[in-house]
Structure 1
């Protein structure tokens, strides 16, 4: 119960302690998992046991620890379902989780024993020993009564400390206040200063700060002992192995050591920053509480003690210190709201811990990825929603409260996500730097857009007339914020990360894919094809996600409803927002006309030629207009708005988006009557089906993505406006919220309802239009596109031989051997049938041949769908043998499918064709046997057991 009361304390240390615990859990489990898995991989030089786990699945899929990241990603995505099945079939390892539980047990022991160590009898003396007349004890009891301390408190004196200070320590229910000897001397000359120091320490007890401080210290020491020491011990062990001449293909030069060291230092910095932020905040809150109880503020006007650290370096390292300096304390007393503000460090730590939790959840095989990512998103969204929400509520209640936009909070949150993801991913990547590092900036939008939307939408929700409506609106805003954050992280996982790693369009594979799907002359559209390939990689990850479509609708519909149901207008200028939206819609009409005119002037003349690449390119530029025009509109609206700029930009963008869809429908329905804007035909006439089909293609890909692009563009527009105001010396703060006036005019209900229906009904209808979606799975798409040529890493002959052996062994163990056994059994059945037919000398048993040939064909096809052999020379031999067998089995099934009974000449021809097909199967089987022997030889020889 005491712990729950501590968490509910309103001074902000409770959420910070929860953040520290989350960081220790994520960092400890991730570190221990990395350490233990690394030791397993180190032992792989003398044992194949690590190849039976997840590392073996990676090798079987074609991953090479020393190859480029783009090559490894393409190797996995080419058989994503098989890779997921292989990973899911591995035994779940709880070593990291168990190690984290042990770490917390050590922290609990430290928390319990640390006060006992500090309260040693020979170090501290009872206060009675220095208080002969009892005046000191009486004054301390009066101060405890003023501070409403109900816990058991013992006062001790530290005779060796001559400073005029004190400290408090202990554990829940039993606390000790240690008074320095210098403080007792100060009591005689400065009683107010003495009382201020004691009240400050009692404030720590009142606010449960002692529990937080000692629990945080215990967690830090346990983390160093149980996580960081093993981490750096691993690095030292790796250095020793390399210096002793260990040859292993798993090593990747200095990258492995660098990644391990940076990862350990990053975790240490994160946990220390969280602990330091927690301890600094508790000091400032204790100062405020002591002044509230009557302590004189003059006691805080103390000079800084001279030290060896220069002042500039001291200011630079302020975030690493656990105690604020006197200047910071005085600022907090002068402005109590200062200590209640959201610190950028807090949001950075929240984002970094969320990235660590995502990595931890991905490593826990017992938790499905869909569940784990939701756990991460909910925990990551809890801090900005709660802390920033409390800030927004306080600003609305304050007469002079400033509107909280949440932009800087979201940007620091995104910076933490970006830093955490980059550092953690370095442990699993081969390249030193990302091939496309600018895509990491997407994390700023992934985090800032939900935070800004939550802050400004909650401001609107607080303006509703009744408490029930406010709670309902706040709940909808929370759910939308969580889903929006999930959308961003899901987009990064499905598309953004792949593009950042250089695997978005390796060797123009997407361009090759589009040329295969849409045959024709692509030479006039080389630039358009490059833009199309890049743009589709950005749009496709989330275009058919139901949650994304729902969140996109709520992004603009929720603020619109809130604006229409406000008690008073209170600064909500909806009419101007709609006019900006109409202007953006007209911009989309003009942009689409310009695009069609340019395509018409440079496109082919004949109608058949316009049905191929030309029509796809024209559709693509329509998609570009449907996304770009609303985004530009949103950026302008956000730049010219000082309050509610995110909701206003979303509403204006939605108006422009609907008008862009109308333009696509009208332009393609009236195709042939538009002169220089004609697209596919020169015959004038109204063709609504053509316009509907074309608009549907555009809507399918842009219905949700355009709203998300609008939100990101609004953030860019607001940032640009802020930068301009800063350069020109104008105020950049958001104006205070206007006080509601009872005489303010209410918005007509009929007008608001009509506006809501005019915007929401078309959007819902468009959602229904896009329901018959044609989706292609990741496996089908990656298998259909041209595979890039892999660059072979530079290795010594011994390393090459070891890696070839590893990959072949893992490929056989994780499914290759099992599929080889199936093929062998099917061929044995065919061999027995051939032997029976030769002994009988009669006509072939057509049904038996058809069943067995179909069985062989099925097993061979299944083997062909398995991971390609990771070694190019063996894969060529393996694939050629399977192809030969499949040609024979398909011919056998065709010949035996419809034999002409009773016609001797036809049966004779069929028998001859059957013999030829069987001969082809036998030829392929011989080649397959040779390929299998070669693979087994590379893997080490002998039969390999299946998992």
Structure 2
């Protein structure tokens, strides 16, 4: 940027009133959410780390389940690991919640004490500025009188703003700080020394700081600083220490180094997740502090001052991680005031990462059953709401200032990049590799993010400027696109890994008539299950309905209120009619194909019905998507509105055609499906319409919206590539950039590079430690069975074995005196044990209690992971099954049936020899490894 920058200062309505709305509140809400969620996750891991039993069990279970083996199957190994960890008593997560509250309390304390600390550390001198300074000619007023005049110019009361002098700072600048509505402007001695020689610089700098007070961003600024410092001290610092030294409190640092060397492949996802989230929190903090500076530069025209003389063009580059913008960026924002309200990459990218990473990395008390859905919807609503509000405000301000509004394309790409980055960071379907097995399916996130932003931008442009319109748009986006994000977070992400598809067979197969599962035809398998899931979600149905009804209502409202009154755009309606007719013709073709197929519909199973209705759905959705794409591509911005109206109308027209074909089924022989007679079947036609309309009006509308948005994006790209670039004096004039963005760099590329660098250089690994580092560090595929067997014993196998033996010995020890006493009383030598036990009623409760304990022990062992050695596992399985059956018979026969009690007791006593064989096998395995 050269020094010949022309700064145009056109007053806006907000400037005339004396205050510009600062768009930092939403960013601050994003920062608080990130810190709370990150604190919950990391503090929960720290609580688990310092739970000794859980730490040891975690490490041994990872080895015993084979999770650390290079060739481990991700799905089965993870399931075995969870089974192994099941019996562990989880840490009390009340401390996690208290820890997050403590972080917030620390932030509040820092916020309250920071101004006092600044005064003491910098030795600031208070200036006695009068509330009502006398009027003097320029150059004759004292420093205090001129400051009082500037404060009066800004419209601020004396009790709200005080002035101090920093005598030891020679820079020509100032800073404002404060708390709870009371602010202090600190003037550096270098600035005061330039007051007489350069009065315009002095006035511009002081009024810039006073404008911070007018904009009410001082409290938010220092709340941001306090939150960040509390996060560093109470969360990031202990997490980093534990990451570098996972054996802290349980072993030496050499043990930690051994763990690092052995498990780098497993801990990479944790390193990536922690590093990127920490970087994102910092980026949001820097974005808040940087944004406020641009708004403070926009001084009201009536103040009669300008900050431009105090700025030096090209002084430094304004990278996105700086908390203060460069002078070049500030001059560019002054020259183009609309840039103050334009969107930039940081909040959209970070919101995307938050929307994906937060629900999947919440503590386990939020991650089971309905709680998982509640957390997913909470985070998704916040993320989608932030996106809507940022785009909506940007569009409204651009329209109010007579500037071209944002179109949503760049915002969608930023948001989609954040969603993809978040999915790669958490690595839930990646395992030990860099990318998932189907990385191209990550584009589904981008495919959904772009329509979200484009729909919001274009709807904000056509809807009336009323609060009810904004609330309606917000509800539409949350229900429509929020459903998409929640579905992706709960089950949709599984498509990234082929090995995970085994756990969701309903996505691929349907029940046949004989009770077996049959695979859908290849033409339907990739979209029909998704359509069925969306169809069955009431929130998705509501969102899809609003998704095209709201733009249609906006178009109708504008046509009624426009000039000439009553003019309705014809192109969308004409395309809707064409799409409806094409859908009806395709549905008729489906009827023709089915008419000649065997068997007849009366004998169709679930597969036949799914295939028929699936093809009818495709017959209506595909033409509607084509006409929507055509309407969006033909009309300039906002073409998505036309596309949605045309696509929605085509879907309704196609549904009308399907209903007519079903109602008049049999009247045209080649089209007959349900009968051969030409008798209107009104009831059946409504059943067919109901079966087709649900996926069409939910899944179909989503497809139409996505295709129309991408068609509009394609048109925009082509117009940029084809249109001649504007030149001034032979020099290409670049398009204005949003304030705060780095010059000449694509923000998503910079953010991705930062994420990658952070992943590589970060020292954080929240690794769960194990006392025996030699076992962990030496694991490989050659001696995996021996190591896994020993880990199985340490993870809980020893406890189960000893529990069985001790309880069996206690049971036998209790029976021995009973048998001796019975023999002394004349009982025959071949008497059943059941008869002997039941002969002593006072002993029955004790026997029953011992057998119940053995039954519970057997059930616990049954849920535990198997022994990695086949021979040992066979013996162990036999012991568990005999103990479980024998204990159950013992409980049932105690005091009731001597025969049943005898059978159960015999089974329990027969496990003693099997225990000896199992112990010998386990000793053999350990001896083989030691030898």
Q: Same fold (TM over 0.5)?
A: yes
Pairing 1:452-463 to 2, within 5 Å after superposition = 452-462=454-464
What does residue 657 of structure 1 align with? 651
What does residue 132 of structure 2 align with? none
Partner Cα distance (2:298, 2:909) in 1: 86
Partner Cα distance (2:584, 2:666) in 1: 17
Pairing 1:202-601 to 2, within 5 Å after superposition = 202-238=210-246, 244=254, 253-289=263-299, 293-296=303-306, 298-305=308-315, 315=317, 318-359=319-360, 361=362, 363-365=364-366, 368-398=371-401, 400-425=402-427, 431-462=433-464, 470-503=466-499, 505-506=501-502, 513-514=509-510, 529-566=521-558, 567-569=560-562, 573-592=568-587
1:491–1:541: 8 Å Cα contact kept in structure 2? no
Matched, 1:114 2:114: yes
Q: Over residues 340-389 of structure 1, what are the superposed CA-to-partner deviations in whole Å (9 max), with x where a residue is unaligned? A: 22222122223333445434656443992333233223322332333333
The Cα of 1:119 is off from its aligned counterpart by 2.0
Matched, 1:715 2:709: yes
Partner Cα distance (2:390, 2:637) in 1: 20
What does residue 105 of structure 2 align with? 105
Pairing 1:793-812 to 2, within 5 Å after superposition = 796-802=784-790, 804-805=792-793
Partner Cα distance (2:87, 2:714) in 1: 46
2:447–2:706: 8 Å Cα contact kept in structure 1? yes
Secondary structure of 1:162 counterpart? coil
The Cα of 1:726 is off from its aligned counterpart by 2.0
The Cα of 1:336 is off from its aligned counterpart by 1.4
Partner Cα distance (1:65, 1:326) in 2: 52
Task: Classify 1:798/1:378 alpha carbon distance in 2 versus 1 (closer, same or farther; 3 Å).
Answer: same
What does residue 761 of structure 2 align with? none
Partner Cα distance (1:608, 1:918) in 2: 56
What does residue 146 of structure 1 align with? 153
What does residue 832 of structure 1 align with? none
2:247–2:253: 8 Å Cα contact kept in structure 1? yes
Given candidates 190, 194, 197, the residue that maps to 2:205 is: 197
What does residue 735 of structure 2 align with? none
Partner Cα distance (1:604, 1:920) in 2: 58
Task: Classify 1:806/1:635 alpha carbon distance in 2 versus 1 (closer, same or farther; 3 Å).
Answer: farther
The Cα of 1:660 is off from its aligned counterpart by 3.5
Task: Classify 1:250/1:586 alpha carbon distance in 2 versus 1 (closer, same or farther; 3 Å).
Answer: farther
Partner Cα distance (1:611, 1:507) in 2: 24
Partner Cα distance (1:930, 1:665) in 2: 73
Of 19-28 and 720-729, the range deviating more from structure 2: 19-28
Secondary structure of 2:527 counterpart? helix
1:807–1:870: 8 Å Cα contact kept in structure 2? no
User: 5+ residue gaps in structure 1?
Assistant: 1-7, 306-313, 464-469, 733-791, 825-834, 840-855, 888-914, 941-947
Secondary structure of 2:491 counterpart? helix
Partner Cα distance (1:599, 1:251) in 2: 63
Partner Cα distance (1:661, 1:361) in 2: 43
Secondary structure of 1:170 counterpart? strand
What does residue 93 of structure 2 align with? 93
Pairing 1:793-872 to 2, within 5 Å after superposition = 796-802=784-790, 804-805=792-793
Task: Classify 1:531/1:427 alpha carbon distance in 2 versus 1 (closer, same or farther; 3 Å).
Answer: closer
The Cα of 1:494 is off from its aligned counterpart by 3.8
Task: Classify 1:83/1:350 alpha carbon distance in 2 versus 1 (closer, same or farther; 3 Å).
Answer: farther
More relative contact order, 1 or 2 (CA 8 Å, 6+ apart)? 2
Pairing 1:882-921 to 2, within 5 Å after superposition = none
Partner Cα distance (2:691, 2:920) in 1: 52
Secondary structure of 1:156 counterpart? strand
2:314–2:327: 8 Å Cα contact kept in structure 1? yes
Task: Classify 1:457/1:937 alpha carbon distance in 2 versus 1 (closer, same or farther; 3 Å).
Answer: farther
Pairing 1:30-69 to 2, within 5 Å after superposition = 30-40=41-51, 44=54, 47-48=56-57, 64=67
1:59–1:810: 8 Å Cα contact kept in structure 2? no
The Cα of 1:548 is off from its aligned counterpart by 1.6
Q: Cα RMSD between the aligned structures?
A: 5.5
Of 9-18 and 86-95, the range deviating more from structure 2: 86-95
The Cα of 1:275 is off from its aligned counterpart by 1.6
Task: Classify 1:405/1:929 alpha carbon distance in 2 versus 1 (closer, same or farther; 3 Å).
Answer: farther
The Cα of 1:544 is off from its aligned counterpart by 0.8
Secondary structure of 1:318 counterpart? coil
For normalisation by structure 2, the TM-score amounts to 0.69
2:63–2:788: 8 Å Cα contact kept in structure 1? no
2:177–2:222: 8 Å Cα contact kept in structure 1? yes
What does residue 188 of structure 1 align with? 196
Q: Over residues 888-930 of structure 1, what are the superposed CA-to-partner deviations in whole Å (9 max), with x where a residue is unaligned? A: xxxxxxxxxxxxxxxxxxxxxxxxxxx9x99999999999999
Secondary structure of 1:168 counterpart? strand
The Cα of 1:419 is off from its aligned counterpart by 2.5
Report the count of equivalent residues: 782
Partner Cα distance (2:677, 2:530) in 1: 36
Secondary structure of 1:120 counterpart? helix
User: 5+ residue gaps in structure 2?
Assistant: 1-18, 130-138, 727-779, 812-830, 836-851, 886-898, 924-931
Partner Cα distance (2:339, 2:319) in 1: 16
Partner Cα distance (2:784, 2:523) in 1: 41
Task: Classify 1:657/1:162 alpha carbon distance in 2 versus 1 (closer, same or farther; 3 Å).
Answer: same
Q: Over residues 758-781 of structure 1, what are the superposed CA-to-partner deviations in whole Å (9 max), with x where a residue is unaligned? A: xxxxxxxxxxxxxxxxxxxxxxxx
Partner Cα distance (2:602, 2:323) in 1: 74
Q: Which has more helix, going by share of residues?
A: 1
The Cα of 1:499 is off from its aligned counterpart by 1.0
1:725–1:731: 8 Å Cα contact kept in structure 2? no
Partner Cα distance (2:433, 2:715) in 1: 38
Matched, 1:15 2:10: no
Pairing 1:613-632 to 2, within 5 Å after superposition = 617-632=611-626
Of 505-514 and 13-22, the range deviating more from structure 2: 505-514
The Cα of 1:112 is off from its aligned counterpart by 3.3
Q: Over residues 818-869 of structure 1, what are the superposed CA-to-partner deviations in whole Å (9 max), with x where a residue is unaligned? A: xx99xx9xxxxxxxxxx99999xxxxxxxxxxxxxxxx9xx99x989x9796
Secondary structure of 2:437 counterpart? coil
Secondary structure of 2:299 counterpart? helix
The Cα of 1:411 is off from its aligned counterpart by 3.5
2:882–2:911: 8 Å Cα contact kept in structure 1? no
Partner Cα distance (2:552, 2:231) in 1: 48
Secondary structure of 2:524 counterpart? helix
2:587–2:616: 8 Å Cα contact kept in structure 1? yes
2:44–2:363: 8 Å Cα contact kept in structure 1? no
Pairing 1:593-742 to 2, within 5 Å after superposition = 617-664=611-658, 688=681, 696-729=690-723
Partner Cα distance (1:230, 1:320) in 2: 23
Task: Classify 1:935/1:90 alpha carbon distance in 2 versus 1 (closer, same or farther; 3 Å).
Answer: farther
The Cα of 1:279 is off from its aligned counterpart by 1.5
Given candidates 23, 26, 40, the residue that maps to 1:29 is: 40
Partner Cα distance (2:687, 2:906) in 1: 51
